[in-house]
Structure 1
Amino acid sequence: MTIGSQVKGCFSSLKSAEATLSLLANKTQNQQAKQVYEEAQTIIDDVKDDLQKQVIYLVKEEPQYKS
Protein backbone atom coordinates (compact mmCIF):
# COMPACT_ATOMS: atom_id res chain seq x y z
CA MET A 1 0.00 0.00 0.00
CA THR A 2 1.46 3.36 -1.03
CA ILE A 3 1.63 6.44 1.15
CA GLY A 4 -0.92 8.11 -1.12
CA SER A 5 -3.41 5.30 -0.71
CA GLN A 6 -2.88 5.27 3.06
CA VAL A 7 -3.55 9.02 3.27
CA LYS A 8 -6.65 8.59 1.08
CA GLY A 9 -7.81 5.71 3.32
CA CYS A 10 -7.36 7.88 6.39
CA PHE A 11 -9.35 10.64 4.67
CA SER A 12 -12.18 8.20 3.95
CA SER A 13 -12.18 7.00 7.55
CA LEU A 14 -12.45 10.58 8.77
CA LYS A 15 -15.39 11.21 6.44
CA SER A 16 -17.09 8.16 7.89
CA ALA A 17 -16.42 9.28 11.46
CA GLU A 18 -17.74 12.75 10.63
CA ALA A 19 -20.96 11.25 9.21
CA THR A 20 -21.40 9.11 12.32
CA LEU A 21 -20.94 12.12 14.60
CA SER A 22 -23.50 14.02 12.55
CA LEU A 23 -26.02 11.20 12.99
CA LEU A 24 -25.37 11.07 16.72
CA ALA A 25 -25.71 14.84 17.05
CA ASN A 26 -29.04 14.76 15.22
CA LYS A 27 -30.43 11.88 17.27
CA THR A 28 -29.44 12.92 20.76
CA GLN A 29 -31.74 14.87 23.04
CA ASN A 30 -28.87 15.78 25.36
CA GLN A 31 -27.66 19.28 24.45
CA GLN A 32 -24.27 18.77 26.08
CA ALA A 33 -23.67 15.59 24.07
CA LYS A 34 -24.85 17.34 20.91
CA GLN A 35 -22.34 20.12 21.49
CA VAL A 36 -19.52 17.61 22.02
CA TYR A 37 -20.44 15.78 18.79
CA GLU A 38 -20.54 19.02 16.85
CA GLU A 39 -17.18 20.17 18.26
CA ALA A 40 -15.66 16.83 17.27
CA GLN A 41 -17.11 17.25 13.78
CA THR A 42 -15.43 20.65 13.50
CA ILE A 43 -12.08 19.21 14.52
CA ILE A 44 -12.43 16.32 12.08
CA ASP A 45 -13.37 18.75 9.32
CA ASP A 46 -10.15 20.70 9.94
CA VAL A 47 -8.09 17.51 9.84
CA LYS A 48 -9.89 16.43 6.64
CA ASP A 49 -8.99 19.75 5.01
CA ASP A 50 -5.32 19.26 5.91
CA LEU A 51 -5.35 15.66 4.65
CA GLN A 52 -7.01 16.67 1.40
CA LYS A 53 -4.22 19.20 0.82
CA GLN A 54 -1.70 16.46 1.51
CA VAL A 55 -3.38 14.13 -1.00
CA ILE A 56 -3.26 16.87 -3.65
CA TYR A 57 0.41 17.48 -2.86
CA LEU A 58 1.28 13.81 -3.04
CA VAL A 59 -0.46 13.36 -6.38
CA LYS A 60 1.08 16.50 -7.93
CA GLU A 61 4.56 16.55 -6.45
CA GLU A 62 5.27 12.93 -5.69
CA PRO A 63 4.05 10.76 -8.59
CA GLN A 64 5.41 7.62 -6.93
CA TYR A 65 2.70 8.04 -4.27
CA LYS A 66 -0.20 7.89 -6.72
CA SER A 67 -2.54 5.05 -5.86
Structure 2
Amino acid sequence: MALTLSATVLFGILAVVLLRGRHVSFGNALVLFLFGFFVAGTGAYKPIHSLCQAVADALTHLTA
Protein backbone atom coordinates (compact mmCIF):
# COMPACT_ATOMS: atom_id res chain seq x y z
CA MET A 1 0.00 0.00 0.00
CA ALA A 2 1.41 3.37 -1.01
CA LEU A 3 0.60 6.61 0.78
CA THR A 4 1.16 9.92 -0.97
CA LEU A 5 1.41 13.31 0.73
CA SER A 6 2.20 16.62 -0.84
CA ALA A 7 5.35 18.34 0.36
CA THR A 8 3.25 21.26 1.61
CA VAL A 9 1.18 19.02 3.89
CA LEU A 10 4.24 17.14 5.11
CA PHE A 11 6.25 20.28 5.92
CA GLY A 12 3.16 21.91 7.44
CA ILE A 13 2.67 19.03 9.86
CA LEU A 14 6.37 19.04 10.73
CA ALA A 15 6.31 22.81 11.27
CA VAL A 16 3.36 22.57 13.69
CA VAL A 17 5.01 19.76 15.64
CA LEU A 18 8.29 21.67 15.88
CA LEU A 19 6.63 24.90 16.92
CA ARG A 20 4.50 23.23 19.57
CA GLY A 21 7.51 21.35 20.97
CA ARG A 22 9.59 24.55 21.03
CA HIS A 23 12.57 22.76 19.47
CA VAL A 24 15.07 24.90 17.64
CA SER A 25 17.97 23.49 15.65
CA PHE A 26 19.39 23.59 12.12
CA GLY A 27 17.17 20.71 10.95
CA ASN A 28 14.05 22.33 12.34
CA ALA A 29 14.91 25.64 10.75
CA LEU A 30 15.41 23.88 7.41
CA VAL A 31 11.95 22.27 7.65
CA LEU A 32 10.34 25.65 8.32
CA PHE A 33 12.35 27.24 5.50
CA LEU A 34 11.20 24.61 3.00
CA PHE A 35 7.61 24.90 4.22
CA GLY A 36 7.70 28.63 3.53
CA PHE A 37 8.95 28.14 -0.01
CA PHE A 38 6.42 25.46 -0.88
CA VAL A 39 3.54 27.53 0.45
CA ALA A 40 4.64 30.86 -1.01
CA GLY A 41 5.28 29.63 -4.53
CA THR A 42 7.90 32.30 -5.16
CA GLY A 43 10.30 32.40 -8.07
CA ALA A 44 12.64 30.16 -6.08
CA TYR A 45 9.91 27.52 -5.88
CA LYS A 46 10.85 25.76 -9.13
CA PRO A 47 14.54 25.01 -8.33
CA ILE A 48 13.77 24.01 -4.74
CA HIS A 49 10.87 21.81 -5.88
CA SER A 50 13.07 20.19 -8.54
CA LEU A 51 15.72 19.43 -5.92
CA CYS A 52 13.18 17.89 -3.54
CA GLN A 53 11.67 15.86 -6.40
CA ALA A 54 15.12 14.58 -7.39
CA VAL A 55 15.85 13.55 -3.78
CA ALA A 56 12.46 11.81 -3.50
CA ASP A 57 13.04 9.97 -6.79
CA ALA A 58 16.51 8.91 -5.65
CA LEU A 59 15.12 7.60 -2.35
CA THR A 60 12.42 5.58 -4.11
CA HIS A 61 15.02 4.00 -6.40
CA LEU A 62 17.13 3.00 -3.40
CA THR A 63 14.33 0.80 -2.02
CA ALA A 64 13.38 -0.74 -5.36
Compute the TM-score of the two structures, normalised by the length of structure 1: 0.43
Larger relative contact order (CA 8 Å, sep ≥ 6): 1
Query: Greater helix percent: which structure?
Result: 1
**Is the radius of gyration larger for structure 1 or structure 2?**
1
Compute the TM-score of the two structures, normalised by the length of structure 2: 0.44
